[in-house]
């Protein structure tokens, strides 16, 4: 669908309209990368990972999407939802075909005159459509079948595809736009004491999910809303980082960066109390299994069939459409929180995540934009790239809002073009604070891996068909987090150097203990993979 994709990495990692140029032709509409970027920036706030507004019930005639989605939840108080009744697909098939024509008109008006109101309608149509599509996919497995549904009926298929393309996202269930950041309501007031575990628990339980697969107040709510609570701390981290880059009150702003990384970790560890590990595979994980790594097992080999979105006839579905394959599903790895934290703390120089300056990088980025993933066939001849690098490139470019991607790139550029790190590293007090912030990033990654072990690898799988060796987004469970963990440790050791200071020695000792724990957890993960 995209035509004439041009990638430039001359000055920085590219983003839509700035290093990434193309024209999109879809359902008779034409729009370009600049319009996509503008649409995304009308949805997401600057210097934060949070949106301008949360998901809302749709106005007529699109309200049929939100009405059905609100009826699909398996456990909604005392009422059994559509997924539990195995009735969601049939309900979605009842949506009038004319709804797509009405949405095309809305998008046409947005292209002519983009506004926050029109962008948010697009974002809401996309979110409700994405929830419905994922519910349809997983409904059979929840009801005892071995395979997911690989058929997205018209007009839902068209609504999801068009709303995704115009907002620069994949027509697949995503972390930011769907599962977490736009589908929950945070309390007006932030926590006043993150050191109090019970307050953290109460705070997470007070966050209201607006749509759900399994429950609004149980393990699914706890899992999702823990992440939303963590993301709220991004405001303080990013805003103060920008002030520090400008040379303003460096120590004070560093302290707030360090505090944000600590608070995020404290909220993260409340997960153990708000979402039961033994029930994660049953009530949470199964509903967010993406295509990548699951084609041929949960999903059919060809992927997902989008009815009436192409000219390929499928005899089994007795319909024309086209297949989308190997799209990466919802995963916390698509959060923008830690990629931008990595850049702010200097971990990014070790991950090389936002360094793109050669033909291989250009080929990978183009592959993601064209297909939704990086295929080895996209790369120059005789060039080998490890699977983790290809995965990370996909996540960076294709699986977070373009506004987030651009924010991370711009933050990195601002840091690289300033004396931010030199000012920090030439002052012992500032260096200590930055080192502590990195310590909390390391802490998060070891805590995350521990959760992977107990929530996924050691937890029962009642469906017997979840690929435990791969994350829901397609990342390799045994190696993905350890790799990021090692990059974080490398940065800390590089920052501390050979200084024999009490605070530095303390951090290195903590790090050594974490390395031992990571090795232990990785052995468990490798056994699972084998």
Q: What are the sequence ranges of the domains in the chain?
A: 1-411
* pLDDT per 10-residue tile (average), the chain, 530 residues: 85 92 96 98 97 97 98 89 97 97 98 98 98 97 93 98 96 96 94 92 97 96 97 95 94 96 96 96 92 88 95 92 92 92 92 82 90 87 80 87 96 94 93 94 90 88 70 71 85 81 77 79 69
Closest-CA residue to 396 (of 479, 484, 511): 484
Residue 151: the pLDDT is: 96
Query: Phi and psi at residue 15, in whole multiples of 5°?
Result: -140, 170
Predicted structure pTM score: 0.94
Closest-CA residue to 517 (of 476, 489, 475): 489
Spatial distance between the Cα atoms of 116 and 108, rounded to a whole number of angstroms: 15
- Placement of tokens 């292209």 in the chain: 111
Rounded to a whole number of angstroms, the distance between the first and last alpha carbons of the chain is 39
Paired tokens of 424: 């920090």
Tell me the C-alpha to C-alpha distance, in Å, between residue 399 and each of 301, 367, 373, 424: 22, 13, 10, 32
371: Cβ contacts below 8 Å, ≥ 6 apart:
325, 326, 378
Beta bridge partners of 21: 6
Spatial distance between the Cα atoms of 345 and 347, rounded to a whole number of angstroms: 6
Spatial distance between the Cα atoms of 41 and 160, rounded to a whole number of angstroms: 19
Task: Tell me the three-class secondary structure of 261-275, residue by residue.
Answer: HHHHHHHHCCHHHHC
- Placement of tokens 């007070």 in the chain: 206
Contact status, residue 181 vs residue 50, Cβ threshold 8 Å: yes
Q: What is the CA radius of gyration of the chain?
A: 22
């Amino acid at each position: 669908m995209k035509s004439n994709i041009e990638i430039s990495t001359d000055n920085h990692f590219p983003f839509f309209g700035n290093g990434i140029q193309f024209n999109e032709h879809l359902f008779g509409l034409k729009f370009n990368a600049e319009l996509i970027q503008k649409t995304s920036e009308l949805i997401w706030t600057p210097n934060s990972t949070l949106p301008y507004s949360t998901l809302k019930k749709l106005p007529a005639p699109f309200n049929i999407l939100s009405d059905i989605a609100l009826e699909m939840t398996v456990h909604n108080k005392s009422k059994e939802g559509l997924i539990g009744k195995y009735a969601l697909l049939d309900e979605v098939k009842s949506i009038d075909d004319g709804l797509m024509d009405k949405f095309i008109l809305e998008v046409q008006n947005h292209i002519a005159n983009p506004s926050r109101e029109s962008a948010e309608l697009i974002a809401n149509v996309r979110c409700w459509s994405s929830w419905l599509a994922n519910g349809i996919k997983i409904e059979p497995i929840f009801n005892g079948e071995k395979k997911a549904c690989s058929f997205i009926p018209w007009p839902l298929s068209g609504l999801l595809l068009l709303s995704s393309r115009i907002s620069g996202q994949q027509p697949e269930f995503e972390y930011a736009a769907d599962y977490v950041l736009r589908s929950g309501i945070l309390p007006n007031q932030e926590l006043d004491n993150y050191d109090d575990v019970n307050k953290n628990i109460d705070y997470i339980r007070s966050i209201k999910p607006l749509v759900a697969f399994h429950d609004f107040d149980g393990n699914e709510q706890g899992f999702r809303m823990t992440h939303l609570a963590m993301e709220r701390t991004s405001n303080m981290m990013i805003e103060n980082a920008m002030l520090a880059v400008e040379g303003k009150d460096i120590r004070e702003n560093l302290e707030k960066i360090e505090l944000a990384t600590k608070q995020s970790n404290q909220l993260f560890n409340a997960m153990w109390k708000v979402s039961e590990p033994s029930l994660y595979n049953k009530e949470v994980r199964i509903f967010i299994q993406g295509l990548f790594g699951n084609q041929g097992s949960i999903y059919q080999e060809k992927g997902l069939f989008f009815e009436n979105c192409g000219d390929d006839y499928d005899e089994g579905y007795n319909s024309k459409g086209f297949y989308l394959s190997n799209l990466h599903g919802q995963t916390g790895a698509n959060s923008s929180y830690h990629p931008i934290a990595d850049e702010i703390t200097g971990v990014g120089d070790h991950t090389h995540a936002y360094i793109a300056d050669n033909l291989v990088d250009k080929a990978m980025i183009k592959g993601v934009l064209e297909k939704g993933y990086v295929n080895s066939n996209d790369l120059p001849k005789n060039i080998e790239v490890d699977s983790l690098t290809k995965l990370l490139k996909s996540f960076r470019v294709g699986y977070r809002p373009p506004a987030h991607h651009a924010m991370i790139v711009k933050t990195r550029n601002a840091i690289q073009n300033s004396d931010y790190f030199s000012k920090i590293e030439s002052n012992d007090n500032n260096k200590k604070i930055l080192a502590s912030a990195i310590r909390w990033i390391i802490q998060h990654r070891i805590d995350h891996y521990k959760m992977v072990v107990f929530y996924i690898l050691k937890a029962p799988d009642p469906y017997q068909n979840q690929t435990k060796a791969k994350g829901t987004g397609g990342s390799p469970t045994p190696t993905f987090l350890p790799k990021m963990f090692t990059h974080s440790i490398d940065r800390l050791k590089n920052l501390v150097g050979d200084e024999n200071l009490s605070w530095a020695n303390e951090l290195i000792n903590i790090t050594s203990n974490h390395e031992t724990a990571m090795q232990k957890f990785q052995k468990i993960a490798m056994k699972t993979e084998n």
